[in-house]
Structure 1
Amino acid sequence: MNTPSSNLPSPDANRLWSAIMDLSALVDSDSPGWTREVFSDPYKASRAWTLARMKDAGLQAHVDGAGNIVGRLPGTNPNAPAIVTGSHTDTVHSGGRFDGVVGVLGAIEAARVLQESGTRLTSDLIIMDFLGEEANGFGVSCVGSRAVAGVLDAAHLARRDANGVSMGEAVAAFGADPNQAISMAWNPRDIKSYIELHVEQGPMLERSGSQIGVVTSIAGIERVMAVFTGRADHAGTTPMDQRADALLAAAEAILTVERVGCGAPVHGVSTTGRIATGHGAFNVVPDSATIWAEIRSIDPGWLGGARRSIAEKIALDAAQRGVEVAIDLLNDQDPVPAAQTMQDTVAAASDDLGYSWEAVPSGAGHDAAHMAHLGPMGMIFVPSQGGRSHCPDEFTDKVQLSNGVHVLANTIRRLDLA
């Protein structure tokens, strides 16, 4: 039997890069960047490609009831709890080629390394391409991993997008089964651990020169949608102190969101990602506006207080302007620490392979946060050039990707031997 000190060989960097480039061709040609949004035709095509890629790598692969693509590399003991890895292949609008994709295609490459080196795990290795990790028009991210973890419920499926379509209807139209999606939770006894490879999506590793990031915690995310209702008036004849300007109330709320995020004592960020108004004109005082905002932090105490502070200040300021506001608060996820045992295993694998590493938090949300419900969770980061992500400029070079897969493969083997 191999021991942790007898390391697995390096992955085929060119094979991995070629796979990423092939998948990146399956995008919406009418949208900028690499756009492959959940439930879209390009996303459906990409998943057929990914399923075939898993099978070509020697995995037993299928699509489950929630729409996840599941690949299995059988171990020697079918009764042993499984080691799970993976990520997602959907993107945001005008997104990049690496976010999520590296965790899926990198895991497939790690499975190839295991097989080509003649290494047989005791546990099954399960590789996941989770359905719909990115935020969508229904306000529910990580759809597939929520289903597996047992935290997707009927209320999630009942949420409707701007066209009035429910998420359950969208799931069914995509070929999955919404009833199975909310009743298919895995048994934690069947899972030994979950490890996810991902691009950092931030600047810390590049700034420090570290090759690998050992993730300490995944930030919690609180989302806020505020709908402002004012009164339309003539813009030339209505005095400023007699207006109920919904757009000004929304603008003030946006600044409130920013100020709260800037005041975090340790780690916190806030963003207003969208604002919409009614049928406005130069000469009409706006009577309606809506904002979509979020706050993130690995500090649960600050995050909860910040959400309350934002809601209270928005309501107070709107009232002073004579504007009504309806605030919808949605907890996307709580902060989730990575298991210390998983951090230690990734760090040890990096040390053995001679890669420099540092402990880093994740400000982005990940499927890993939900998989933590099933067992010890850990994440491996590789650098992002310029810290850019969720944009066409997102980039991680071939060598850095190969380093990450090398650490992933050896981490998997260490977990199997533990």
Structure 2
Amino acid sequence: MSASDPQLIPRAGRVRADLDELARLVEDDRPGWTRRAFSEPYREQREFMLGKMRGIGLEARIDPAGNVIGVLPGRNRSLPPLMTGSHTDTVHGGGRYDGIVGVLGALETARLFSEQGIQLERDLIVIDFYGEEANNFGVSCVGSRSISGRLLAEHLDRVDADTGISLGETMLRRGLDPDRAVRGAWRPGSLHGYVELHIEQGPKLERSGSKIGVVTAIAGIERLLARFSGRPDHAGTMPMEERRDALIAAAEAILLVEREGCGAPIHGVSTTGRIESSPGSFNVVPGDAAIWAEMRSVDAEWLDGAKGRLARDIAELAAKRGVDTAIEWLNDQEPVHAARSVQDRIAGAADALGVSWESIPSGAGHDAAHLADLGPMGMVFIPSVGGRSHVPEEFTEMEDVELGIGVLAHTLLGMDRERR
């Protein structure tokens, strides 16, 4: 690895060791490397990360929302701090790299600064955000929402359909303080900047051969729950033209969701990830059905228009079949643009290290989107092999992880010297 400052060369061996340690804290009865928020392995992981931070000399704590926060003190602690980090929870059947690389990269960056006697002008905050991935409550990014003031009291009342327990009660059972988490917003503009290292989760960097992605924007997300109420009937005796089949109406809605994503003019995707129907018998026409879907884009205008079109078209198609609909938008996030100044810093760090880079939008949601109100925000992407993510096969070469950490460290060092 070529570097303008050889003191900031990451040690891949210890990053790999941290990665392997974390990979053991998983839900053994689930596929892949599953470590979902609110699970017992995730609770153990919070303590693991707290110990890691304290072990390298950071002032570390777990806040009321479950965020693990470590601070590397700067020379002038009255200055607005820098922040870097990501998340360590996974989706069901997830992989070893999504979010985790960003947390371990932040930890390694703090190690490098400490070992080489590099004291920043301001504090550096290393953070492992709580519960970034989507959950049964329909509230993703729990920890970063708390810090940014976007975790609301009504979120705490959301109920897990599988358990009947609210988000607030679940947080209490995990030793968190949901009321303080809702009131835990940091002051807007209180950060000098936030930079997040993350795997791309898509194929663009691998296909182009670029080693670093400088993120331009994070896609907005609209999540949809559509319920369909028809009429159950005998599957052998009710004529096709007289049926009020809720599952067929749901199937047509799924195709509408796909059509919206395919028709996006700039950047847009749409996915239906879950479908249910009842009574669930071969010989009964489905009387009720539901789908869970989402749309993502960095184009706010398209996202807003698609949301309105889907609600209208789903209802109209279902009505033609005599099926009633109820549509609920579970969670939304506006597209968020990375700060131009941080993009330039990341690109400059890559250039200084002799690492190829390109500008790239993020189709995935990230904690970084919620940090933009607190200070200039940016993201560093590194390649994902085969573009695979949210699956056990998710993989990023350790050489690319090392390059990403190097770019992150140099970016933070450059930002520390800026006046804002």
Identity of aligned residues (%): 58
Q: Is the Cα contact below 8 Å between 1:70 and 1:129 reproduced in 2?
A: yes
**Pair 1:404-2:417 in alignment:** no
Q: Is the Cα contact below 8 Å between 1:280 and 1:286 reproduced in 2?
A: yes
> Residue in 2 aligned with 1:154?
153
Give the distance between the partners of 2:412 and 2:172, measured in 1 at CA.
34
> Residue in 2 aligned with 1:242?
242
Q: Match of 2:192, SS?
A: strand
**Pair 1:96-2:95 in alignment:** yes
Deviation, structure 1 residue 362: 0.2
Q: Is the Cα contact below 8 Å between 2:12 and 2:402 reproduced in 1?
A: yes
Give the distance between the partners of 2:331 and 2:133, measured in 1 at CA.
15
Deviation digits for residues 107-149 of structure 1 (CA, Å, limit 9, x no counterpart): 0001011111111101100011111000000001000000000
Give the distance between the partners of 1:128 and 1:294, measured in 2 at CA.
28
Deviation, structure 1 residue 158: 1.1
* Counterparts of residues 133-172 of structure 1 (less than 5 Å): 133-162=132-161, 163-172=163-172
Give the distance between the partners of 2:188 and 2:6, measured in 1 at CA.
29
Unpaired runs of 5+ residues, structure 2, are none
Give the distance between the partners of 1:279 and 1:244, measured in 2 at CA.
14
Unpaired runs of 5+ residues, structure 1, are none
Deviation, structure 1 residue 6: 4.5
* Counterparts of residues 224-235 of structure 1 (less than 5 Å): 224-235=224-235
Q: Match of 1:164, SS?
A: coil
Give the distance between the partners of 2:318 and 2:9, measured in 1 at CA.
58
> Residue in 1 aligned with 2:375?
375
Deviation, structure 1 residue 161: 1.0
Kindly tell me: are residues 155 and 271 of structure 1, through their superposed partners in 2, closer, same or farther at Cα, counting changes over 3 Å?
same
Give the distance between the partners of 2:215 and 2:7, measured in 1 at CA.
22
> Residue in 2 aligned with 1:203?
203
Deviation, structure 1 residue 187: 1.5
Q: Match of 1:48, SS?
A: helix
Q: Match of 1:61, SS?
A: strand
Kindly tell me: are residues 204 and 230 of structure 1, through their superposed partners in 2, closer, same or farther at Cα, counting changes over 3 Å?
same
The two structures have a TM-score, normalised by structure 1, of 0.98
User: What residue identity is the alignment partner of 2:292?
Assistant: W
> Residue in 2 aligned with 1:341?
341
Deviation digits for residues 244-285 of structure 1 (CA, Å, limit 9, x no counterpart): 000000000000000011000010000000001122211110
User: What residue identity is the alignment partner of 1:191?
Assistant: L
Deviation, structure 1 residue 57: 1.6
Q: Is the Cα contact below 8 Å between 1:85 and 1:126 reproduced in 2?
A: yes
Q: Match of 1:169, SS?
A: helix
Q: Match of 1:217, SS?
A: strand
Deviation, structure 1 residue 165: 1.1
Deviation, structure 1 residue 332: 2.5
Deviation digits for residues 311-341 of structure 1 (CA, Å, limit 9, x no counterpart): 1110001100001111001342100000000
> Residue in 1 aligned with 2:361?
361
User: What residue identity is the alignment partner of 2:157?
Assistant: A
Give the distance between the partners of 1:64 and 1:331, measured in 2 at CA.
24
**Root-mean-square deviation over aligned CA pairs:** 1.1
The two structures have a TM-score, normalised by structure 2, of 0.97
Deviation, structure 1 residue 65: 1.1
Q: Is the Cα contact below 8 Å between 2:97 and 2:396 reproduced in 1?
A: yes
> Residue in 2 aligned with 1:286?
286
> Residue in 1 aligned with 2:80?
81
> Residue in 2 aligned with 1:330?
330
> Residue in 2 aligned with 1:46?
45
User: What residue identity is the alignment partner of 1:157?
Assistant: L
Kindly tell me: are residues 189 and 304 of structure 1, through their superposed partners in 2, closer, same or farther at Cα, counting changes over 3 Å?
closer
Give the distance between the partners of 1:5 and 1:122, measured in 2 at CA.
20
Q: Match of 1:62, SS?
A: strand
Q: Is the Cα contact below 8 Å between 2:9 and 2:406 reproduced in 1?
A: yes
Q: Is the Cα contact below 8 Å between 1:7 and 1:352 reproduced in 2?
A: no
Give the distance between the partners of 1:397 and 1:159, measured in 2 at CA.
39
Deviation, structure 1 residue 164: 1.7
